[in-house]
Structure 1
Amino acid sequence: MGLSLKDRLIAQALDEGFSACRICRPWDVPEVPGRLAEFLSLGRHGQMSWLAERAHWRGDPALLWPEARSVIVLAESYTPQTDPMAGLSERDRGVISVYAQGADYHDLVKKRLKRLARWLIAEAGEGTEVKVFVDTAPVPEKALAQAAGLGWQGKHTNLLGRELGNWVFLGSVFTTLDLPVDAAEGEHCGSCRRCLDVCPTDAFPAPFQLDARRCISYLTIEHKGPVDEALRPLMGNRIYGCDDCLAVCPWNKFAVAAKEMRYRPREGNHLPDLAALALLDDAGFRERFRGSPIKRIGRDRFVRNVLYAIGNSGEARLAQVARDLCDDPDPTVADAARWAVARLQG
């Protein structure tokens, strides 16, 4: 007797480079609407207005495509080869989140998803319909991943698994096929609080809850305009994202190695020189971060982050770098420059 379609699908997913593949139903996330409603009602989404605007879809993925009967959830590892927190002490250097040091995962994961989807159509036959998603549509990926048994949402609200750790990208293939589902995964954080206690800005009001308005990943990537002055010193030299809560998770001792070489840091993206980054104009920024997720925040927001890091560096020699940007055409950059100068001058 030959392998089932599901078994062949999983084998094909692993051949494509995914680390794990599981299946659930689109409606297997009944807790999402309530949790999302509370998150939004408390304003914890900050400036991410699209979360409120698309809450009905994100809260019930079955509404996104009512014809879908199964969701194939894929995980792809990007486990770093070095300690992501080691660079936090190098104050004249910037720390970029691990996921953004290499190629843009959206592009790589989506290509794999599309190849897998085409394979599935060829195997299942005419009439099979599919849609692929990777962090660009109102899909509750982490909740679906838990429903499919890939792992659970830890106290830091990110997905982690006993066989994966928490350094994973998620993607999904919605399909009209009625595939056998996997058992959901339960929570295995126990009494551990490492991710909560390490957070520099106290962004977790309680276990399993996040206030994005205090999260450095949100502040450096999604937040437009000046960052609250009380939070700026806490950002340290993190200039794009923050990995602290991921890096300290004990389950990472089981993390699988990343197969995709393009997730490794590009030249100049591991602990880049802050002074050089502050000099980037718009054209230079776009050229340097071509094909990188960093590109989407634009030069002004990025240089704002760099100037906060310069202000936190304690390096008096960087004061002139900040001083040269005090009259930048962008008012947020100019504000960050003046703040950095004031900090470095004591």
Structure 2
Amino acid sequence: MAERRDHGAGTGADVAAHWSAQLKARARTEGFSAVRITRPDAVPEVMGRLQAFLDKGYHGQMGWLAERVAWRGDPAALWPEARSVVMLAENYGPDFDPLTRLDWREDGVISVYAQNRDYHDVAKKRLKRLGRWLVAEAECEIKVFVDTAPVPEKALAQAAGLGWQGKHTNLVSRELGAWFFLGALFTTLELETDAPEPDHCGSCRACLEICPTDAFPAPYQLDARRCISYLTIEHKGPVDEALRPALGNRIYGCDDCLAVCPWNKFAERSAEVKYHARADLHAPDLGALATLDDVAFRAFFSGSPIKRIGRDRFVRNVLYAIGNSGAVRFIPVASGLCEDPDPAVADAARWAVLQLSRRDQA
């Protein structure tokens, strides 16, 4: 391990300020859009909020959220030796308005973040490079996380000053809008911290009012069981029939509450080409997607976060979109899946045929 370079006999505060400045400069060089620093114990409110969320059952089938609550509610308990938490933002902003795609009923709508490479892989590689540099330069220990551990990234990011949790519970930035991923670097190094970011939502309710399924019981509260992102990604089995029409043509995730945020006027297209939409995922034909078998699905979505949910859940989503499309040309496609080995796919196919048949007879 490299010898620690303290750069003079300054005070502890001077040394912390020095390494903070060096780290931020290096993070920019690595391509991160923004970087701020906080302490592991800077978010004491998280435990109470998390427990209230779980007590109401808002987590639905995401049982993993109820596991390791002590860590999820207290970042300082995750790694007691950590003295600083570096929160980094990775811009994935699109060059189009995702809301316009909702009118293209015969095409599937995939959340912006999932239209190309898996951000876990892209961001984590960048984060690991930054961590290796810090270890070599400052003789410290690190742990890096990109949505892969019980870390309350959004709360820590607000405490660090990257942005604030809006009324839709996602992070918003005055510089980046709503289109950015978060990465966390925990370190044993004492660093100079940044001031928390205050809430700038004001009286705006755009994100709450646009939600097709009324997934927000109140501002700053999310009932995941009604959230389209949850229903199309995390939820196993059939989706409640009452909610299916509200899915529209969204087949993986939902960007409505992000896209409508007025702070996106400051957002820019991501400079990372791996986040730019693949041509075949920008507006894919629903009929072609419904016919994917497991092998074809895995090949088509190789390197994509969509691959994680598997063919069955994905085709289930596509069939809901087909049922909502009003396009009777899809009846043969849906009919061919009514006896699919997966019960949720078969159920979705029969539902789609019924919806389209009613449209054909109207």
TM-score, normalised by the number of residues in structure 2: 0.94
Say if 2:263 is the partner of 1:251: yes
What whole-Å deviation, never above 9, does each CA across 1:180-205 have from its counterpart, x for those lacking one?
10001110100000000000000000
1:54 positional shift? 2.1
Distance across 1 between alignment mates of 2:307 and 2:187 = 32
Q: Distance in 2 between matches of 1:14 and 1:133?
A: 18
Distance in 1 of aligned mates of 2:269 and 2:301? 25
Contact 2:84 2:187 in 1 (8 A): yes
C-alpha contact (below 8 Å) 1:163/1:256 kept by paired residues: no
Does 247-256 or 153-162 show the bigger shift? 247-256
Q: Does 1:298 align with 2:338?
A: no
Partner Cα separation in structure 1 for residue 324 and residue 290 of structure 2: 14
Q: Which runs of 4+ in 1 moved over 3 A?
A: none
1:141 aligns with 2:153: yes
| Displacement of 1:277 | 0.2
Whether the aligned pair in 2 keeps the contact of 1:235 and 1:309 (CA below 8 Å) is: yes
2-structure distance, mates of 1:267, 1:84 = 15
- The amino acid across from 2:289 in the alignment is L
Alignment pair present for 1:341 and 2:353: yes
- Counterpart of 1:157 in structure 2: which amino acid? T
SS at match of 1:307: helix
Hey, what does 1:160 align to over in structure 2?
A: 172
Query: Partner amino acid for 1:270?
Result: H
Residue of structure 1 equivalent to 2:199: 187
Deviation per residue, 1:58-93 (Å, 9 max, x gap): 100111101000000000100100011111011110
Unmatched tracts of structure 2, length 5 or more: 1-6, 9-16
Question: What CA distance in whole angstroms lies between the structure 2 residues aligned with 1:258 and 1:234?
Answer: 29
1:52 aligns with 2:57: no
Deviation at 1:257, TM superposition (A): 3.2
Which residue, 102, 114, 118 being the options, matches 1:100?
A: 114
Question: Paired residue for 2:30, among 16, 22, 30?
Answer: 16
Letter of the 1:43 counterpart: G
Deviations 1:154-183 (A, max 9, x none): 001000011121100000100000111000
Partner of 1:219: 231
- 2:163 aligns to what? 151
The equivalent residue for 2:11 is: none
Alpha-carbon contact 2:178-2:263 (below 8 Å) kept: yes
1:345 partner letter: S
- In structure 2, C-alpha distance between the alignment counterparts of 1:52 and 1:283, rounded to whole Å: 33
Per-residue CA shift, 1:93-152, capped at 9, x if unaligned? 000000000110000100011000011011113xx1000000010000000000000000
Structure 2: distance between partners of 1:290 and 1:122:
34
What is the identity, as a one-letter code, of the residue corresponding to 2:206?
A: R
- AA aligned to 2:76 is A
In structure 1, how many angstroms separate the alpha carbons of the residues matched to 2:268 and 2:43?
26
Aligned mates of 2:210, 2:160 — CA distance in 1: 29
Whether 1:174 aligns to 2:219 is no
Q: TM-score, normalised by structure 1?
A: 0.98
Q: CA deviation at 1:256?
A: 3.6
Q: Of 93, 102, 106, which aligns to 1:88?
A: 102
- 1:267 deviation in Å? 2.8
Which residue of 239, 242, 251 corresponds with 1:230?
A: 242
Query: CA separation in 2, counterparts of 1:132 and 1:111?
Result: 10
SS in 1 for 2:98: coil
